[in-house]
Amino acid sequence: MGALERLLSTIIEITRNIDDEVEKGYDLSRWGDQMKFLHALQVQAQALLDMVQHAASLLGYAPSTYIEAGRLLLKEKVMSEEEFKFYRAVVGFRNIVVHEYIRVDLNLVEEILKVRRYRKILELAESIVNKLRERGIIDP
């Protein structure tokens, strides 16, 4: 299994686990629930960022930032404009969680969990892998 498949597998597992935890119920005013979901969302986002960087590398590029990697996938039509816009939001969210965790907007986290927006990361990851497979860049 290659790096992209491993990252996709990680995203699938994390998404499934977030789904399970959301189904059990949560209270983001409780520190334990905050940490659980912030960590899960951070790891899920990081796996997507790593996937995008690796995909850009497979396309022959050496991006220096996560945003540049996304722009390259947009340029190569591996990502649509809408997907790139969402990807940029994921990069921003991950940066806040990692670097400015005290300032995380719990209302935003609540919205992400409530409408299961985190599942969109899985959809984007699957789309990237499928488009690269179609091009023969990764094995089927």
The string of pLDDT tens digits covering residues 17-38 is: 999 999 999 999 999 999 999 9
d(CA 75, CA 69): 10
Domain 3-134 CATH assignment equals 1.20.120.580: yes
Helix 106-114 vs helix 31-58: crossing angle, to nearest 10? 70
14 confidence band (pLDDT: 50, 70, 90):
very high
CB crowding 35-55: b at 16 or more within 10 Å, else e: ebbbebbbbbbbbbbbbbbbb
The string of pLDDT tens digits covering residues 70-96 is: 999 999 999 999 999 999 999 999 999
What sections of 25-118 are H helices per DSSP?
Answer: 31-58, 66-75, 81-99, 106-114
- Provide the 10 A C-beta neighbour count for residue 73: 27
By C-alpha distance, which of 97, 86, 89 is closest to 123?
Answer: 86
* pLDDT for position 104: 87
Q: How far does CA 60 lie from the centroid of its chain?
A: 22
User: Across the chain, what does the average pLDDT equal?
Assistant: 94
* Residue 106 token pair: 């719990």
Domain spans, the chain? 3-134
- Structure pTM? 0.94
